[in-house]
Structures are given as structure tokens and as C-alpha cells.
Amino acid sequence: MPIEFVCKIKFAEEDEKQKGRQEGDRESLIEESCARPVKDLAGFANSCSLHGINHIFVAGRLGVRQTLWALAFLLSLAFFLYQAAKCAISYLEHPHVTALSEEASREMVFPAVTICNINRFRFSALTDADIYHLANLTGLPPKNKDGHKPTDLEYPAPDMQDIFNRTGHQLEEMLKSCNFSGQNCSAKDFSVVYTRYGKCYTFNGNRTTSRKTKQGGMGNGLEIMLDIQQDEYLPIWRETNETTLEAGIRVQIHSQDEPPYIHQLGFGVSPGFQTFVSCQEQRLTYLPQPWGNCRTGAGELIPGYDTYSISACRLHCETSAVLQACNCRMVHMPGNATICPPNKTNCVDNALVSLLKKPSDSCPCETPCNLTRYGKELSMVKIPSRGSARYLSRKYSKSEDYIRDNFLVLDIFFEALNYETIEQKKAYDVAGLLGDIGGQMGLFIGASVLTVLEIFDYIYEVVKARLLRLVKPQKKDKKTDLKQDQRNTVATVILADKKEPSEAPRSHTEGAAYPTGILPNHHHHHHVHRPGLFEDFAC
């Protein structure tokens, strides 16, 4: 029958000691590298570059001297934090300053000049159909020129662009003389543009072929003489939104990058005077958010315009409002929509008035970050003089009274070949913020960026040491249990010896052979002792 032996096996001491030494050395290296002794607070205070703390954290009890130093340090720290907070608040407000300077130039691009006769329709050019259709627009009664009402006449639908083009004042008839920088010019140097005043004309409006002037002062710009043709002005039967009581022209001086917005940005020139306009080019640079409120060039362009401008934005807003309310657009508005007929004048006026009453954010027109405008100084003298009135009367076959009532001279020039740059700049940027905080830090607590790094490094070492102390006892307990298991290993051996009891004694003497397949005997005559083999066992 099988016999069960419970044997206690003892490992060789040399093997156990060598293995223990190897594991101990490895663990000691790990502990030494991960758990270096951390300086105490007094030691850190003596080695830290932060001023004053080496007098506070010292060995021994807290005395009067340490207390005074602590109060001085806390007071300095409070002043520093107060000043740093003020600097941070000032930076978050994103202030800016405006820098003004003047730059000289050898030559300058002459601005675009748009002129409009205040009267939109010539009375002699209106047909009976025009008078009938324009009754709501002009205030004229729907009669023909002879004063008779049209009975059963049916006129074709009006084409407003054709009416403006045909009945507006023609520049060829108004322009009596033209001169630019000593060279003659003509009506061919002007381009037709439509505004609220109807058919208008722009000089030097092409950006690619813009004219330049190489000298400042009077006589080195544009000088034109115009006949405003007051005898063609419409008689006033009743007042409308389009009724004008004055005589003369409207003028706007603008850059080639923006369309004319002459009904709001233009100035008036009266007949019977020579008006001198001295210009000063101003190049403005604004800051985007959060320092300013300008629109960068990378923004979406307005349909119908190559570049963004406030005038283009306003026209776009007006066009959208009229399209939404009346399903059409005015002649001067961009786009391909149908032009509003005269019977929709009230609808257009109401839409524009409603647009003005809406909040500004309904159609915001931001200032472009780069803008060119022209400062103007106006002066005038009366024309013609008594001597020139007779000469002009003979030259143009007009009476002297007609010359006084209709002729005007407009002289536009640069005051000097220089321009002003008005630039918004950041009053407080990141470099200024860091410089101010660094200066306050050095003044009050004698610290720098490296001092802050020293403090963080010390905090890191302290936290790491605390964590290692929590983990180390658990590792020691596991190691002790593992060694105890290795020392007290118990093996159970099942023997199946079928020999006779007389041939299998219960005890043996030293040197007797063990049955094969049970346990190796290290006392065998050919066995050499090696670490790691069984030293002895007992059953």
C-alpha cells in the first residue's frame, strides 16, 4: 500500500545568504535613489535665494528677531501681491495709446474727388412720361409741361437708371475748365457714379491708374470751373424727402478704395465763389480686439466691393434693408436686383428710416484696421470780380448775372507733400507686464524666476518623500513574508514502494542508497556540492 511521507527541506545557507545579499543590494539602491533625505525647512531657507527667510526659519525656538523678520517679510510680500494684482488688472483692461507722426514723401497719390449737382433732374430733359412717373419723387403734379393732365395715356414702365442717366446734369455741359498739376483735363477724365443725388462724377477714381502729384500747394492739384445750371433746377410744387432748397454742388474727397457716400460725408460748394480745399492725407492704423474694435483685412468681403470700407458696409446695410422691405434696390445700391420704380419711393424711405432706428449691432460697420482719410481746410473768395465778370460773360455767351449765380471754381490741393500717421499701439503688453511684476518682485522680496523654481523644487521633493514613506512599509511586509516562505518549505512525497518490509527499513544509515525517483542524495560519492541544492531533509 502507498506510504505518505511529510518531509521538511532545508536549503543551503550559502545559497540563501547569497540570494539575500543580491536582493538587499538591489532594494537598497532603489531606496537610495528614490528616497534621498530631504532638507528641513531651515536648511532650505539658508540655501534659497529668497531674501529674508533665512532669518525666519532657523534652528531653535522662535524669538523676537525671527518674529520681526517674519513681519517684515509678510509686509513686503503683501505689497508685492498688491502691485502684481494692479499690473494684472491693468493688462486685462487692454489699454492703448495713439501715436501721431508726420512722414515726408517725394510724390503722393492724389485722392478721388466726387462731385454731384444738388439738383438731380434737369427740367428741360424730362418728358411727360418722366414727369408722370416721378411725381412722387419730385413733388411735381402728374401733368405734362403745358399743365394738362394726361387722360387715358398709359406710359411704359420707367427705367430709373435710364432716367437718371438721361435727365441728370451732364458734365460736358457743366465743366467749363479743368486743370490738374498744370495740365489740361476734360470730362473724359471723370467717371460716372450714381449716388443719392443721382448721376455724379468722380475724378481719379481708378485705383490702378491713379494720378500722383509731386508738389504741394495751390495750383498743384485739381482746379475746375463749373456751371451748375440753375435754370434747369426743378420748380418746387411741394416738399418731399428729396426736395432741395439750396443751389450748388456736393463734393467728397475720398480714397480710391471706398465708394462715395456723398449725401453724408460730402461738403457743399456754393456758386459765385472760388473754394480752396487744402488737404492733408492721414493714414490711420487701429488695433483689433481686445485692444481695439477694428476689422482686419482677413474678414469676409462685402459683395460688390474689392476692399472693405465703412461706406461700402453702410451701402450694403441699406441695400439689404430695402431688398427685404421692398424687394428691389435703389440705383446707387450695389447688386443685380431690380431697381425700385418711383411708386415705391415711400417704401424705400420707410425702410431706410427703420434702419436708422434699429440698434447699431443689427448691421455693424466696424472701422477697418488700416484707413486713409483726408483732413480738409476750406477757404473761399467771391467770383467773378467786376473786371472778370464782363470777360467771362463774353467768353461763355452768358450774362454777368448768370455768371454770378451759376459759376464756381473748386481748387483742391495738398498742403505739403507729407502725410500724418495716426497709429494705435498697445500701452501694456505681455513684456511690460512681466517686466513690472519682475521689478516689483525684486524690489519687495528679492526674488526672480529661478527663486520660484527653487520653491517648486523643494515642494516637489517634500511631496515625493511623503509618498515614499507611505509606500515603503507595504514593501517591507511583502519582503518579510516572502523570506519566511522560502525558509520553511514543506514538501510532501508519496512513496510507492512495493518491496518487502524486510527490504525497506524505516531508518537508514549514512551512505545507504535512497530508492531512485524519490529524492536526490547529495552525499553520493560522485556528487559535487553546489549552491542551491538541498542541504538535508527529515521525514
**pLDDT for residue 279 is more than 60:** yes
The band of 29, judged by pLDDT with boundaries at 50, 70 and 90, is very low
pLDDT at 238: 64
pLDDT at 58: 77
162-166, 176-180, 332-336: which is most confident: 176-180
**pLDDT for residue 493 is more than 80:** no
**pLDDT for residue 521 is more than 60:** no
pLDDT at 34: 46
pLDDT at 139: 61
| Structural Rg of the chain based on CA atoms | 50
Cell 473754394 maps to which residue?
Answer: 275
Q: Which residues contact 82 (CB under 8 A, 6 or more apart)?
A: none
| Residue 396 exposure: Cα atoms within 13 Å on the Cβ side | 22
Residue 377 to residues 241, 284, 412, 415, 421, Cα–Cα distance (Å): 30, 19, 10, 9, 18
- Where does 97-114+170-226+249-286+371-425 sit in CATH, by number? 2.60.470.10
The band of 475, judged by pLDDT with boundaries at 50, 70 and 90, is low
Q: Which residue has the higher pLDDT, 259 or 136?
A: 259
Provide the residue type at 285 as one letter.
T
Nearest C-alpha neighbor of 286 from the set 430, 103, 98, 92: 98
| Omega cis (within 30) before 342 | no
Q: Which residue has the higher pLDDT, 212 or 498?
A: 212
> 3-state DSSP call for residue 73?
helix
Q: Does the predicted model carry a pTM greater than 0.95?
A: no
Listed by start position, the domains of the chain span 3-49+448-538, 97-114+170-226+249-286+371-425
Kind of pairing, strands 407-426 and 273-285?
Answer: parallel
Residue 34: all three cell numbers together: 528614490
**pLDDT for residue 212 is more than 90:** yes
234-238, 282-286, 457-461: which is most confident: 282-286
Provide the residue type at 70 as one letter.
A
Which whole number is the average pLDDT over 239-257?
A: 85
Cell 492703448 maps to which residue?
Answer: 96
Q: Which residue has the higher pLDDT, 35 or 109?
A: 109
Strand ranges (DSSP E) for 186-307?
Answer: 190-195, 198-203, 212-213, 222-227, 249-254, 267-269, 273-285, 294-295
pLDDT at 494: 43
| Residue 294 exposure: Cα atoms within 13 Å on the Cβ side | 19
- From the number of C-beta atoms within 10 Å of its C-beta (0-12, 13-18, 19+), residue 267 rates as middle
Q: Which residue has the higher pLDDT, 188 or 144?
A: 188
Task: With residue 376 as reference, give the H or E element that holds it.
Answer: strand 370-382
Average pLDDT of every residue of the chain: 80
The band of 490, judged by pLDDT with boundaries at 50, 70 and 90, is very low
- The answer to whether 354 touches 400, Cβ cutoff 8 Å, is no
pLDDT at 483: 55
The band of 454, judged by pLDDT with boundaries at 50, 70 and 90, is confident
DSSP conformational letter for 339: B
Residue 131: all three cell numbers together: 414727369
Q: Which residues contact 22 (CB under 8 A, 6 or more apart)?
A: none
